[in-house]
Amino acid sequence: MTAPVFLVDPALLDGSSRRLTLDGAEGRHAVSVRRLQPGEQIVLTDGAGRGAYGVVAGTVGKDVLNVEVHAVREEPEPSPRITVVQALPKGDRGELAVETMTEAGVDVIVPWAAARCVTQWRGDRGAKSLAKWRSTAREAAKQSRRLRFPEVADPLTTRQLAALLGEADFAGVLHEEGSTALAAAELPAAGSLVLVVGPEGGVSPEELTAFAAAGAPPYRLGPTVLRTSTAGVAATALLLTRTGRWG
């Protein structure tokens, strides 16, 4: 069984100590929920690419676990860096999109309030929804054994998004009427790749025009039309394969 991953304060992994203590919410989860026992393998990560690999040395009460570290590994920055801009879906489909993209290996997820979004993030509701997306990404990153967790950025307006697309080394909008297949697009070997996933109602003509002007033309993903909650993970998998990150 693959060793479970727990998120810790980066300072905990900065020293050379071979014995670390996992406490707080993560320690409680390890002891009371996962019920890890002495001798079982475990990974502690800062979520930014560093991981301490070791075994459980013992538990103290219900929420403290001691870890004997055998090795510390550094995961390099991903290249090229993949960002998916996700229009706000209805219901819990946003969390589903975040979860599956994280498991696949996306680097950045950007919420976008598209013109045709039924869901709108405003005030406290918006703050709670963003927190939910970030929590979902964190838990999915642990479940998928990632050392480098994805960033879930603050929501962007269409104008802000156009500026982001203009700065990317490759940018595109997933659209069923795109004349070029994403599988055939010319991709840079490094830098940043940014893809836009529209809402249930689709990307509006005005948005398509603005994004094309910023250097992000429409690309089709395949012969079928995917839901907004699944298009991002399919596109991420395609880009990870084509860029060699899944090589």
For 32-84, how does the pLDDT look when each residue is reduced to its tens digit (9 = 90+)? Answer: 999 999 999 999 999 999 999 999 999 888 899 999 999 999 999 999 999 99
Domains of the chain, by residue range, sit at 5-74, 81-242
Confidence of residue 91 (pLDDT cuts 50, 70, 90): confident
Over 70: is that where the pLDDT of 1 sits? no
Name the burial class of residue 152, with classes exposed (0-12), middle (13-18) and buried (19+) by CB atoms within 10 angstroms of its CB.
Answer: buried
Q: What pTM was estimated for this model as a whole?
A: 0.94
**What is the percentage of the chain residues whose pLDDT exceeds 70?**
100
C-beta separation of 151 from 201 below 8 A: no
Rg (CA), the chain: 20
Task: Provide CB contacts within 8 A for 78, sequence distance 6+.
Answer: 105, 107, 148, 245
- Counting DSSP H helices and E strands in the chain, the numbers are 6, 12
When pLDDT is averaged across residues 133-160 and rounded to a whole number, the result is 97
Token reading at 27: 């320690």
- Tell which phi-psi region holds residue 24, choosing left (phi > 0), alpha (psi between -120 and 50) or beta: left
Q: Compute the distance between CA of residue 198 and CA of residue 216 in angstroms, rounded to an integer.
A: 13
- What is the amino acid identity at position 186? E
Strand order in the sheet with 151-152: 151-152, 108-112, 81-87, 192-197, 170-174, 218-220, 180-181
Q: Would the pLDDT of 16 be above 80?
A: no
The number of beta carbons lying within 10 Å of the beta carbon of residue 122 is 9
Whether the bond between 80 and the residue before it is cis, its omega within 30 degrees of 0, is yes
Q: Which of 119, 149, 130 is nearest to 50 (CA)?
A: 149
> 5-74 architecture in CATH?
Beta Barrel (2.40)
| d(C-alpha 81, C-alpha 88), whole Å | 22
Separation CA 168–CA 180 (nearest Å): 19
Q: Which CATH superfamily is domain 81-242 in?
A: SPOUT methyltransferase, trefoil knot domain (3.40.1280.10)
- Rounded Cα distance, 145 and 140, in Å: 8
Burial class (CB in 10 A: 0-12, 13-18, 19+), 105: buried
